[in-house]
Amino acid sequence: MEKIVLPDIPNFDKIDTYLANGGFSAYRKALTQYPDDIIDQVKKSGLRGRGGAAFSAGLKWSFMPKTTDKPKYLCVNGDESEPGSFKDRQIFEYNPFQLIEGILITCYAIGAKTCYIYIRGEYHKWVKFMEKAVETAYEKGFVGEKMKEVFGGGFFCDIHVHKGAGAYICGEESSLMNSIEGKRPYPRVKPPFPAQNGLWGNPTTINNVETITNVPAIINKGWEWYASIGEPKHPGTILFGVSGHVNKPGVYELPSGTLLTDIIYSYAGGVPGNKKIKCVIPGGSSMPPLRGDQLEGVKMDAESLRMAGSAIGTGGIMVMDEDTDLVKVLARITKFYYHESCGQCTPCREGTGWMLKLLNRILRGEGSTKDVELLVSVANNIEGNTVCALGEAAAWPVKFMVTRFRDEFEARVKESAAREVVNKVHSMRRTVNPISPINI
């Protein structure tokens, strides 16, 4: 199987190696075509976003207005703050020039003259890798005004590497744009969408790092070739980051539609000690978990996972064996989303804290059966009631972990639990008369 995004070529991160293997030939080919033709090819290829939503890349590009006097922007989302996701940093380190070439083709297709590569703050090492690659591209005349001399024609674009401050919310596209503008990264209410009102009120397209890195191969080898790889409705290869209880954790580039069990056992080496799998989260921590006894036949593509009751997300596969304490796992995930909630929406700001308190109560052995029901109720009240998808990201793990592994939670609680009243009325706080505990 040919690897598209992370080819097995030594020193592919060096510009000379990249050029020796056909580097920037796809951009030269793109310059001989009309921008609309390139958008049409990407649309026909079936390339879907690799950042979580799996939206058609070509269709997103087509939303960019054709006639406008405003400057246009491209943002490449490399925030990658989803727990369990660690694929984009592989591109920054091992294939930065294919990403840069994909940016050039995308900018030419949508008419953007400026691109921002947004990288999470904790990725300091990979920020340096990408800054060095962009600097090298400028020196060679592959980026900036020198492009007109090197490639011919009148088109050129600039690329800026923008380092975030380490906020998960910046993975949401409108928060990312606010961060670049120097504002607090609150998600924006949509509509208007970025293609109409993006960076500084100008038309903007946002794509994930892996999505853009696929583009040169599509232009060089044709959309028919790309569409023939993997599942027809979600074609191409996908970078799967496998972590947790496996013998060989890492990033594996495989065709979409590869069986989840094949990824775990054939590529990631199976579970240590040949233990049984209790739970798998297939697309990063925010995606609904799957039971270990229901993995047979599950394929790793957007449509197949949707039918299985989960989602492809970022392709971060988190494997948990039979000895895993899922209550602790869920409490840790919930603590992350509580910490990373931007606080703009009341359901998310308050609900994530309530869910964490309930889970901690259960962990202390003070939970009741009503707490289990309350967890699901709070998650349901968060889901669908927030400006951005962080609400769903926090609610789905709780909602589906509890409903699919209910026995794990019921085994940790009692029918009822006595608790002292915390919110005593003001006049009773200093009284010697005790207030009886309540039973829940």
Architecture of domain 233-321: Roll (3.10)
**DSSP labels for 325-377?**
-HHHHHHHHHHHHHHH--S-SHHHHHHHHHHHHHHHHHHTT--BHHHHHHHHH
| pLDDT at 196 (0 to 100) | 95
In the chain, CATH 3.10.20.600 covers: 233-321
* pLDDT tens track for 262-293: 999 999 999 999 999 999 999 999 999 999 99
Hey, how many other C-beta atoms are within 10 angstroms of the C-beta on 159? 23
| pLDDT at 148 (0 to 100) | 95
In the chain, CATH 3.40.50.11540 covers: 15-228
In the chain, CATH 1.20.1440.230 covers: 326-410
> What are the mean pLDDT values of the chain's consecutive 10-residue runs (440 residues total)?
93 98 97 97 97 94 94 97 96 98 98 97 96 98 96 95 94 96 95 96 98 98 97 97 98 98 98 98 96 96 96 97 97 97 96 97 94 96 95 96 96 76 60 55
For the entire predicted model, the pTM comes to: 0.93
* Spatial CB neighbours of 68, under 8 Å, sequence gap ≥ 6: 203
What would the CATH number be for the domain defined by 326-410?
1.20.1440.230
Domain 15-228 classification at class level: alpha beta
SS3 content of the chain, % helix, strand, coil (to 5): 45, 15, 40
Helix (H, G, I), strand (E, B) or coil at 310: coil
d(Cα 387, Cα 421) in Å, to the nearest integer? 34
| pLDDT at 73 (0 to 100) | 98
d(Cα 45, Cα 219) in Å, to the nearest integer? 10
pLDDT averaged over every residue in the chain:
94
Taking a C-beta distance cutoff of 8 angstroms, is the pair 421, 437 a contact?
yes
Instruction: Report the sign of the C-alpha dihedral through residues 212, 213, 217, 220, in that order.
Output: positive
d(Cα 137, Cα 141) in Å, to the nearest integer? 6
Structure token pair of residue 230: 């993997």
| 308 secondary structure, DSSP code | H
d(Cα 319, Cα 309) in Å, to the nearest integer? 17
* pLDDT tens track for 370-406: 999 999 999 999 999 999 999 999 999 999 999 999 9
d(Cα 369, Cα 171) in Å, to the nearest integer? 36
